[in-house]
Structure 1
């Protein structure tokens, strides 16, 4: 079965085949987005297809009910609130995890029949600034580029994107392009030295939030040097005003504002100006800002002015965060859109009323995500239906979001997993189908529509999101408009609307797919929109003919006045915190947190800090620290690295209360947002940091995910064989804390002293039940040895003693996992390097590391640089 990966916006094709009682997942070699490649998360998808933790039936107030009862209750309670308080008292909060068909139904119900604009989506947190910029400049939310452009580019600029970790398959395509064309130049613009810098010919570690200044300066450089495109100029509006706004941004001014060497700023400008095929890839480092829309437009200004758009190898290319963020934008999933990418103009409202045959179509935009949850907190929005997302973790000012949900009169959550931070607030829980069970379409970063196909039966009583919404709509009295029996019917309606009274005026048009039969829809091959009479097979690039989607057919430059973060650092809050993804995890871990090997590389929240900053704060490597902002605090493990610019921190966004105590970074992030897009400023939060002390830290391994005794800090990780591992920190005597978990029938084997450490292994009928290791600092133990002991109990005194010690008596431990695809550890790699494996290719031949998704290649190169000199010295000593 061919389907599409449910993670990032690359939109990789996946092949799934039955294998014994499970499934085997591999890359689809025929899918143009990935041509067979998969990252480690995609390769591990089969390991997420388990019943553990699933929400299997509807619940009201924690009690199992029938679908009939649950749907009746949803409709009755929504109707009562609407009748008493009006349609704006209810809201939907959707997700880029939804399929396009689900999204379409949600938007149609809220904006078309309930009559409110109050449907927004977690795409507001990742792509809203890019959407706003595209619409302001191009007249439409229309990404002009495609992945094939990587192969044609002469210069590729990565701005605010660590694609090596966040979009690994697209990154590998970039790596391949560089290998095939060594003349290709790669520029990385990022305050920290990320894994993506491994490929960079030029890295610009600019001051956080100063991207607007850098690109304003680029526009001035292009204008001053005569690099404007003569064919494009007549097609541009607001040129004089925009150039005037950039006039003061000389290279010297830019260098000062960005805290960069002027010669490196000019080197970047020369590269951009001197080549026609320039591709700028950007992501959250640009979008997630209180001036995110203007930063995106500053990028677009440079490309439009120089004509670097619409041709092979050139253009502004935003990398989408989620698998169907683009699909949600197509159907009007954002609060300031109508369906088919239409805006709230009288003409569009009238058009939609006639198409949907409804006189209740919303006439004004609804509340954007942050505003929506603030309105819930104030009691203005009294009911919210949250679909396939976890706002209690992912939204900024997380403590306020939790308080808003706690106070809300009616919280409905349709979700795959039973226990999430958000579902804890649900009055009504509805079990949604998961990847592998649901059936529909998604659209990736390059406008490519692909099928996500069902290949396994739904768990329990799980149902499609579109079906739940349609059932509620029928109960609200809108049955005729929501009487679909198959998702292909919804897709046909969506496609027909995209072409309705379009005549080429709207960019999004897939009317060529509006007549697909159910069978043709089932067999639909990946295709890039538009798909219509002019482009029946789709279209890879847009704007090559220099016609845009403003009414006059022209594009618009936008005058940009660069501004810094909403709140600057200060003596009280001296460090600027950046948040983002890590290599092997996805969003709030509801799927990837189930897979042991995806938690081997990084298993708990950390904060990356420059050694100079750590020294000033009295922080040592691997210690626990407390990070605090004006809005909240968290605990994380200190990781000292010179890759971090002094004065800045990086903290991953993924951890939540299901996996860690006090590990949610979005509790610290302020709700500041771009005034145009509504996207939060998640990248620049002033904070302070200090050591966090406890009497002891421990590692606990046990068979069941038990409820722990009260403890100051913990972090849970699933490991192989169904064992749970907890990292712990607490005060007092660890033996006293542990006592509550021990059972009287267990036989105990212990070692330790009064102050330094305490180890304990519990046995029952010859099997290991629990293993515990505590010391003043986090104990270093061999996790593989311990996990194996639970499956194959040690049968000798020496092996039992090794288990009690937490490490093998002989041989070298595998060490920290570097390659998650093959479970290759740091110490294994270091040993191979010392034995002569002095490049990534040789390491791959010996240990397989780096030969699948390639995300670990930058780390492998660092290890080679670290250990190869030792190997060379040893060779020199032997020869002497």
Structure 2
């Protein structure tokens, strides 16, 4: 274990696990916990520490008002209060009473609230080759006019697409979903969530029947082992990592297993660190499962009652003893066995799964193997035993729940006629209006349809995809694609739009967001948006009114008028669903975050899912009938809902990654986000004077004649970048480019463009994380300045013609392709 107490930058609040009585109390439903005597502590033992970030020269006494808000960084959804002085935001403060962060702040918040320059204050419309200011009536009349024109033609519902980013509140996501699915009837709705959280969501649905995290942040308090699967929590979720470190410094510290090929604060802290070759996660997971089964370290009674598929799982993992997996993964077999010992002996195991699994080869299959491990050991539904699939910001969870991306609203199954009828009755529309003949079109496929000309209007909200998708600027510049961008700032994407709608930013509107552990928080409006900028909800409601969207009775389809009434409409959509919000109100949220599901009869939300071993696979609940993890084929009626509500053990054979090294490109390239604040300086974590550079193992550098600080070029078949070398503890054969949190996004995009994009067959999430590359010294670079050099990126090859499984419509190609990849 590293010494994390000597560094004054690392403020620690050590604590130990609850005692046996407190753990028993934590396992009780909320209404029973309320009946316990006060002497029995029922809350988290994690000490409160209130972080305050204010403008220089200001103190808390100088603040006019503190307005409740929530962080949209990472997956945590940390509660905070927004500091307002003279009508503007001047800082933030952690909320001490909140169940998620106990007053702590993600250090990135220090920059997030300051980023308010370059704001749009009036709508813009295209006049030839330039954007000019316009009134709201002029801008929205153009959008509504083009919408009506497309809808009037054959298959017009397939001519309109929506791409949504992570800034929207739940109420805005739901309003957008109703407009798109019931007002227009388009299947072309997706967004940034596809690139961040799709694999996490799909894995949860495949194993447990529906999206929704089984675990909770308080499982850190109770666990005796933490496994981080492809998750650099120190960078991505620093408040969660602080909680783990505080447990590690207190009595009864949990063991830590880290699976990540990169060198990071998490891997240096771990008791067991596994650094597998890129793309071999499934082989590693199968070996760990093999070791547990072979060593009889599983719970036969739990499996017999609460899971199916054990025999098939045994058959598959039998072929993956530690020795064979070690050869595939490039690991010592003894390290796999050590990890299995920790995982197999833990009484309360918490797993967090991150991008190293979600954006790698066989993403959903690998994430499901983590679920298999917990099901084998019966490690679900009790304090300290849970899984957290962490993908993207909190609002991304809302996009998935509400149907603005992925499945139908309320985690419903598009292939279940009963679910479609439920929505039709709720919205008072004909079931045939709601697109349910196949899964929603995924994000990159929507852009492909726009490139082909079948999507004639593309509405992009709270996202700047031009910077993330190579060649998209070419698509959005087509004269036959009418582009609407709704954003607080004039982004690269907005510069290509036909209409730009100025939106209110964080702190300028009211709404709710849901964190990764299902905690719902309310964000209240703190300040007015600049100029004529409007809240996203107000923009969508105005569009719906202009379009005249109506239900069967002739009344308005979108009948709410503000954030709270939109939240009440969403609650009705969730009644009886796994994500039941019906017991949550704005009034309750003003007292603190509440977890779903939460029915009106309960005094609390539900802290852990599946406590009774009954999963969302039961009749009427399941979000999916399941898929073949290797091909993505939908099982449909071949695997119907399970009447007993049992989880599914998804077996998966290892399939090698298509991105393989060869003589010309013998190394593997990837990236990692740097921690949001400096890590402690230790012998295991040297910090070089020239700053972050390209992390290379000393043995690889020696072969290439590269030394510390040398300028090197990384080349893949698609492009190249140049950076200074930093000798590090990354695994041999791997080259890692650290990306500063909140830093140069152009660098991040350039690095991403080195990689050929594959797709997970189930989640349709791009797996652009690794590339086979060659590394070479840049001649004559010895006198160049430290840091990053020039970057060159190759253009993107055209996207595939279609997404298999999406039926032929007026909004897409006539014949789906059987090939699903982007190159």
Same fold (TM over 0.5): yes
Q: Establish whether residue 637 from structure 1 lines up as the match of residue 716 from structure 2.
A: no
User: What's 2:149 paired with?
Assistant: 80
User: What's 1:125 paired with?
Assistant: 195
User: What's 2:410 paired with?
Assistant: 340
Does structure 2 conserve the Cα–Cα contact (< 8 Å) formed by 1:431 and 1:461? yes
Does structure 2 conserve the Cα–Cα contact (< 8 Å) formed by 1:660 and 1:714? no
Q: Establish whether residue 415 from structure 1 lines up as the match of residue 482 from structure 2.
A: no
Deviation at residue 141 of structure 1 after TM alignment? 0.6
Does structure 1 conserve the Cα–Cα contact (< 8 Å) formed by 2:274 and 2:331? yes
User: What's 1:563 paired with?
Assistant: 655
Q: By percentage of residues, which structure has more helix?
A: 1
Bigger relative contact order (CA 8 A; separation at least 6): 2
Does structure 1 conserve the Cα–Cα contact (< 8 Å) formed by 2:122 and 2:531? yes
User: What's 1:627 paired with?
Assistant: 714
Does structure 2 conserve the Cα–Cα contact (< 8 Å) formed by 1:652 and 1:665? no
Q: CA RMSD in A?
A: 2.8
Map 1:705-744 to 2 at 5 A. 713=790
Deviation at residue 77 of structure 1 after TM alignment? 1.4
Deviation at residue 638 of structure 1 after TM alignment? 2.2
User: What's 2:463 paired with?
Assistant: 389
Deviation at residue 106 of structure 1 after TM alignment? 1.1
User: What's 2:768 paired with?
Assistant: 682
- 3-state SS in 1 of match to 2:104: coil
Decide whether aligned partners of structure 1 residues 406 and 469 sit closer, same or farther in structure 2, where only a CA change above 3 A counts.
same
User: What's 2:246 paired with?
Assistant: 176
Distance, in Å, in 2 between the alignment partners of 1:428 and 1:617 is: 51
Pick from 295, 306, 309: which aligns with 1:238? 309
Deviation at residue 615 of structure 1 after TM alignment? 4.3
TM-score relative to the length of structure 2: 0.77
Q: How many residues align?
A: 674
Deviation at residue 635 of structure 1 after TM alignment? 2.8
Distance, in Å, in 2 between the alignment partners of 1:110 and 1:694 is: 56
Point out the more displaced range, 274-283 or 622-631. 622-631
Decide whether aligned partners of structure 1 residues 625 and 405 sit closer, same or farther in structure 2, where only a CA change above 3 A counts.
farther
Q: Establish whether residue 5 from structure 1 lines up as the match of residue 77 from structure 2.
A: no
Distance, in Å, in 2 between the alignment partners of 1:370 and 1:654 is: 26
Decide whether aligned partners of structure 1 residues 270 and 38 sit closer, same or farther in structure 2, where only a CA change above 3 A counts.
same
Q: Establish whether residue 613 from structure 1 lines up as the match of residue 700 from structure 2.
A: yes
Distance, in Å, in 1 between the alignment partners of 2:90 and 2:181 is: 40
- 3-state SS in 1 of match to 2:286: helix
Deviation at residue 623 of structure 1 after TM alignment? 4.8
User: What's 1:54 paired with?
Assistant: 119
User: What's 2:568 paired with?
Assistant: 492
Point out the more displaced range, 350-359 or 39-48. 39-48
Distance, in Å, in 2 between the alignment partners of 1:603 and 1:57 is: 43
Deviations 1:622-675 (A, max 9, x none): 4554433333x2434223222222221223568999975896222223231101
User: What's 1:843 paired with?
Assistant: none
Q: Establish whether residue 530 from structure 1 lines up as the match of residue 616 from structure 2.
A: no
Q: Establish whether residue 106 from structure 1 lines up as the match of residue 176 from structure 2.
A: yes
Pick from 420, 434, 444: which aligns with 1:361? 434
Q: Establish whether residue 664 from structure 1 lines up as the match of residue 759 from structure 2.
A: no
- 3-state SS in 2 of match to 1:385: strand
Does structure 2 conserve the Cα–Cα contact (< 8 Å) formed by 1:619 and 1:638? no
Distance, in Å, in 2 between the alignment partners of 1:294 and 1:189 is: 16
Decide whether aligned partners of structure 1 residues 31 and 602 sit closer, same or farther in structure 2, where only a CA change above 3 A counts.
farther
Decide whether aligned partners of structure 1 residues 607 and 105 sit closer, same or farther in structure 2, where only a CA change above 3 A counts.
farther
User: What's 1:470 paired with?
Assistant: 541
User: What's 2:7 paired with?
Assistant: none
Does structure 2 conserve the Cα–Cα contact (< 8 Å) formed by 1:320 and 1:444? no
Distance, in Å, in 2 between the alignment partners of 1:470 and 1:433 is: 14
Does structure 2 conserve the Cα–Cα contact (< 8 Å) formed by 1:107 and 1:339? yes
Pick from 210, 232, 245: which aligns with 1:162? 232
Distance, in Å, in 2 between the alignment partners of 1:289 and 1:56 is: 40
Deviation at residue 183 of structure 1 after TM alignment? 4.1
Deviation at residue 19 of structure 1 after TM alignment? 4.5
Deviation at residue 271 of structure 1 after TM alignment? 1.0
Deviation at residue 572 of structure 1 after TM alignment? 2.2
Decide whether aligned partners of structure 1 residues 128 and 662 sit closer, same or farther in structure 2, where only a CA change above 3 A counts.
closer
Q: Establish whether residue 325 from structure 1 lines up as the match of residue 396 from structure 2.
A: yes
User: What's 2:107 paired with?
Assistant: 40
Q: Establish whether residue 278 from structure 1 lines up as the match of residue 353 from structure 2.
A: no
Distance, in Å, in 2 between the alignment partners of 1:343 and 1:533 is: 24
Decide whether aligned partners of structure 1 residues 609 and 406 sit closer, same or farther in structure 2, where only a CA change above 3 A counts.
farther
Deviations 1:535-555 (A, max 9, x none): 341011111111111122111
Decide whether aligned partners of structure 1 residues 65 and 617 sit closer, same or farther in structure 2, where only a CA change above 3 A counts.
farther
Does structure 2 conserve the Cα–Cα contact (< 8 Å) formed by 1:412 and 1:426? yes
Query: Where do 5+ consecutive residues of structure 1 fail to align?
Result: 586-599, 701-711, 716-880
Distance, in Å, in 2 between the alignment partners of 1:655 and 1:445 is: 20
Distance, in Å, in 1 between the alignment partners of 2:298 and 2:676 is: 42
Does structure 1 conserve the Cα–Cα contact (< 8 Å) formed by 2:708 and 2:727? no
Distance, in Å, in 2 between the alignment partners of 1:136 and 1:56 is: 44
Deviations 1:13-34 (A, max 9, x none): 1122235675131211111111
Decide whether aligned partners of structure 1 residues 24 and 655 sit closer, same or farther in structure 2, where only a CA change above 3 A counts.
closer
Deviation at residue 399 of structure 1 after TM alignment? 2.4
- 3-state SS in 2 of match to 1:496: helix
Q: Establish whether residue 265 from structure 1 lines up as the match of residue 330 from structure 2.
A: no
Deviations 1:773-795 (A, max 9, x none): xxxxxxxxxxxxxxxxxxxxxxx
Does structure 1 conserve the Cα–Cα contact (< 8 Å) formed by 2:200 and 2:390? no
User: What's 1:811 paired with?
Assistant: none
User: What's 1:432 paired with?
Assistant: 503
Distance, in Å, in 2 between the alignment partners of 1:661 and 1:8 is: 20
- 3-state SS in 2 of match to 1:482: coil
Decide whether aligned partners of structure 1 residues 605 and 58 sit closer, same or farther in structure 2, where only a CA change above 3 A counts.
farther
Point out the more displaced range, 690-699 or 121-130. 690-699
Decide whether aligned partners of structure 1 residues 453 and 219 sit closer, same or farther in structure 2, where only a CA change above 3 A counts.
same
Does structure 2 conserve the Cα–Cα contact (< 8 Å) formed by 1:629 and 1:686? yes
Distance, in Å, in 2 between the alignment partners of 1:68 and 1:657 is: 38
Does structure 2 conserve the Cα–Cα contact (< 8 Å) formed by 1:584 and 1:601? no
Distance, in Å, in 2 between the alignment partners of 1:698 and 1:630 is: 26
Decide whether aligned partners of structure 1 residues 58 and 693 sit closer, same or farther in structure 2, where only a CA change above 3 A counts.
farther
- 3-state SS in 1 of match to 2:410: helix
- 3-state SS in 2 of match to 1:340: coil
Distance, in Å, in 2 between the alignment partners of 1:155 and 1:669 is: 35
Pick from 494, 511, 521: which aligns with 1:450? 521
Q: Establish whether residue 187 from structure 1 lines up as the match of residue 257 from structure 2.
A: yes
Distance, in Å, in 1 between the alignment partners of 2:782 and 2:133 is: 42
Structure with larger Rg:
1
Decide whether aligned partners of structure 1 residues 636 and 484 sit closer, same or farther in structure 2, where only a CA change above 3 A counts.
farther
Deviation at residue 402 of structure 1 after TM alignment? 3.0
Distance, in Å, in 2 between the alignment partners of 1:445 and 1:292 is: 18
Q: Establish whether residue 291 from structure 1 lines up as the match of residue 358 from structure 2.
A: no
